[in-house]
Amino acid sequence: MKSVCPICKKPSVEAHKPFCSERCAQVDLGRWLTESYALPARPEAEDDEEA
């Protein structure tokens, strides 16, 4: 099964896997650095109540 680039959906290239190009890899990095992507987390206040 051929994987696709998560940015532009073109077939990925082994040299830039999972992306199709250096450009798409840089777009993804930029999204992480500008916090466009975020991992869900519970607020710290909830953690204190459980302890």
Decide which of 1 and 39 is more confident.
39
CA distance 35 to 48: 26
| Percent of the chain topping pLDDT 90 | 65
Domains of the chain: 1-37 (3.30.50.10)
pLDDT value, residue 5: 97
In 3-state terms the chain splits into helix, strand, coil percentages (rounded to 5) of 45, 5, 55
The confidence band for 38, taking pLDDT boundaries of 50, 70 and 90, is confident
pLDDT value, residue 43: 80
The confidence band for 27, taking pLDDT boundaries of 50, 70 and 90, is very high
